[in-house]
Every structure is written in structure tokens, then in C-alpha cells.
Structure 1
Amino acid sequence: MTERKDIDQTTTNQSFKIEKYTDKDREQILNIWEKSVLATHDFLNPTDFEEIKQLVQTFNFNDFEVYCLKQNDEVAGFIGLAERKIEMLFFSPEYIGKGLGRKLTDFAFSELKADKVDVNEQNTNAVKFYEKLGFRTYERTDKDDQRKEYPLLRMKLETTEN
């Protein structure tokens, strides 16, 4: 797999398609998860990163509603939901900031009725991204779901129906 450094932002969205996860995508999304976290979660200490990485490698992604954003057979990013909550949204670093996160979240809103997400408070770019989409914090935790010292913001999509 070759890395693409020169992605044309004007044509990027049109050349990608969203496909349901299959086990043949597993190695690509594990690789994307790792590269994405290393690029965006600089607040994680290395030991915690390794523990989380080991946990993620045990996931059966079929237990979630996972969709991959692909160009040909190359996965650029993926989104995973459980019970209308976005549990994961990760991209290879070269695809971050290209409008593709919006493409996957729009799909999650319209097709999967997503309306919640948990975000690491220290991941300020992700917090801003979800706020821009209309999510608002309704709860803050002092620790993450693994009881580590990484506060989470629990966010819900604000709608005109509320």
C-alpha cells in the first residue's frame, strides 16, 4: 500500500465510497486506528497507548455498525457505532482535514440515526469538529471508560425537535 501525500481536496469526496465493514478490512482499520491515534492523541502516555492498542486489537468489529470510507480497495477512514452512538471515527493522517469526517458522520446521521458521541476532552480538534456538527456536551467524566485519567465529554446531537 502506497501513501498518498498529494490528495486533491476538490475531488477527494467524490472519489470515495462508503462500504460496510468486512473482516478483509480488519488489518487496514487497525493500522488506521494506530496512525490516527498517534497523530491526534498526543495527550496519551505511551503505556496507556499500548494498553489501548492491545484492547482495540481484541475487538470484533462485527459487534459494531462499522463502515469504511474507501477509494478503490484502500480504506482511508472508518466509523463505528453502537446503539446510535459514534464509538469510533478514525482516518489515516493524510486524510484528516479533507472533509471526509463530515462525509462519514453525515452518513451516520442519515442512515444509522447517530445522535451521541464520547470525546476525549484533551482532543480539542475532535471536540470542535463535533460541536461544529451540532453536538453539545451533556456530561463530563473525570476518567475514560477504562478508568484512566482522560476526561470524556459525552455529547448529544442537538436537534430542533428537542
Structure 2
Amino acid sequence: MIEERTGKKREMQGKNGKKNSQKRDDPYNLVILEKRSSELIACLTGIWRRSVKETHLFLNDQEIRKIEAYVPEALLKVPVLIIAVNAENEPAAFMGADSGRLKMLFIEPEERGKGLGGRLLAYGIEKLGIRELCVNEQNPQAKGFYEHMGFTCYKRTDTDEQGNPYPLLYMRLSERKDVPV
């Protein structure tokens, strides 16, 4: 359960002492994490792995394991880490942000298609000022999702940030006012 991993109860408060938003009919609660236990990091790394296996079909198992070695450190270092906990009080998804840039967004495969990614990103846009992100070109579902959320591509690279042959698309939030959820 989330309170065991963070030492906090489900109705957590954000950095400014405000309770995190939750719609009445929405079974997810968004939680801003300041303390990140090793158990929680392992749980989120598992979400990352399962999500990547479902969405990053261009990566083989060896490549996934290689990248996964860096995930715990990234989860510890990202300045803002928000998790979505489900009705069972278990993490269902997470998002990391830094200085107006989305650094990571991963969702349990069985939780996909329920609006959770849109809710997390809309929260990030509204509350964290997210205006930029980077996505693998070979992940067309993610690219389409970000375009649906109002992002447009402004730059493409032939390799990822580690020099691997995985093209990246750099995207910015367009000037439109509405953010679909």
C-alpha cells in the first residue's frame, strides 16, 4: 500500500499543504512524492518495465534491461515525482517533471486507456507548467497521445540522449488554451 511505501496516508498533501485533486468518479488519487523509499522505487521501476514492454516494441529484452538499470536513479533524482494510486491504494502510474519539462510518464498496462495519462499530463501542464517533452519516434501511440494533448514537434534527432539508434522527437505545448482530458 502507498502509505507503507511513503510513510503517508492516501489523502496526502502536496508541497504547499494543499490536498491533491481527485474527481468524485475518478478512482485515482494523485500524490506528489518528496520521500521515495527503496520499496517504492522498486514498485515504480516495475511499472516502468511493464509499460515499456507494452509500448516500446522497438526495444528487445536486453535493451530494456540495460535502460532499466538507470531508472531507479532517474526516479530518485527527478525534482517532481507524482504517482497516481488506484482504488486499492496501489501505484498505477507515475510522472516526473523538471523545470517545465516532462521527464517521464509511465502507466501500468492494465490501467491504459482509462484517461489516467491525460489526467496526469493535464495536472502537469496546469500545476507544474509543463510545456516541453521528448518522446521516442518509434512509439507512435505516445506521439499521438501528446499531439492530442496539444504538443507539436519542433526538433528530431537520429539517436536518443545516450547515442543509441532510437530517434527522439522534441515537442512543445502549442498555444491553444484547452487541454483535453
TM-score range, shorter chain: 0.7 to 0.9
1:117 aligns to what SS in structure 2? strand
The equivalent position to 1:55 in structure 2, one of 58, 61, 70, is 70
More helix by share: 1
2:74 aligns to what SS in structure 1? coil
Name the count of aligned residue pairs.
152
Could you tell which deviates more after superposition, 107-116 or 60-69? 60-69
Task: Give the distance between the partners of 2:98 and 2:81, measured in 1 at CA.
Answer: 9
> Contact 2:154–2:170 at 8 Å: present in 1 too?
yes
Task: Give the distance between the partners of 1:89 and 1:104, measured in 2 at CA.
Answer: 8
1:15 aligns to what SS in structure 2? coil
* Aligned residue number for residue 36 of structure 1: 51
Q: CA distance change for structure 1 residues 130 and 63 in 2, over 3 Å: closer, same or farther?
A: closer
> What is the percentage of aligned positions where both structures have the same residue?
34
Task: Give the distance between the partners of 1:33 and 1:74, measured in 2 at CA.
Answer: 15
The equivalent position to 1:15 in structure 2, one of 13, 17, 27, is 27
Task: Give the distance between the partners of 1:44 and 1:154, measured in 2 at CA.
Answer: 20
Query: In the TM superposition, what is the alpha-carbon distance from 1:23 to its structure 2 partner?
Result: 1.3
Query: In the TM superposition, what is the alpha-carbon distance from 1:84 to its structure 2 partner?
Result: 0.8
Higher-RCO chain (CA-CA 8 Å, sequence separation at least 6): 1
Query: In the TM superposition, what is the alpha-carbon distance from 1:63 to its structure 2 partner?
Result: 3.4
RMSD: 2.0
Task: Give the distance between the partners of 1:114 and 1:143, measured in 2 at CA.
Answer: 24
Query: In the TM superposition, what is the alpha-carbon distance from 1:57 to its structure 2 partner?
Result: 2.7
Task: Give the distance between the partners of 1:77 and 1:60, measured in 2 at CA.
Answer: 13
Task: Give the distance between the partners of 1:104 and 1:29, measured in 2 at CA.
Answer: 15
Question: Which aligned runs of 4 or more in structure 1 are off by greater than 6 angstroms?
Answer: none
The equivalent position to 2:110 in structure 1, one of 68, 80, 94, is 94
Query: In the TM superposition, what is the alpha-carbon distance from 1:14 to its structure 2 partner?
Result: 1.1
Give the gaps of 5 or more residues in structure 2: 2-22
TM-score (norm 2): 0.78
Query: In the TM superposition, what is the alpha-carbon distance from 1:46 to its structure 2 partner?
Result: 2.6
TM-score (norm 1): 0.87
Alignment of 1:12-161 (within 5 A): 14-21=26-33, 22-24=35-37, 25-71=40-86, 72-160=88-176
Residues 108-146 of structure 1, C-alpha deviations (whole Å, 9 max, x = no match): 011100001100000000000000011000000000001
Q: CA distance change for structure 1 residues 76 and 64 in 2, over 3 Å: closer, same or farther?
A: same
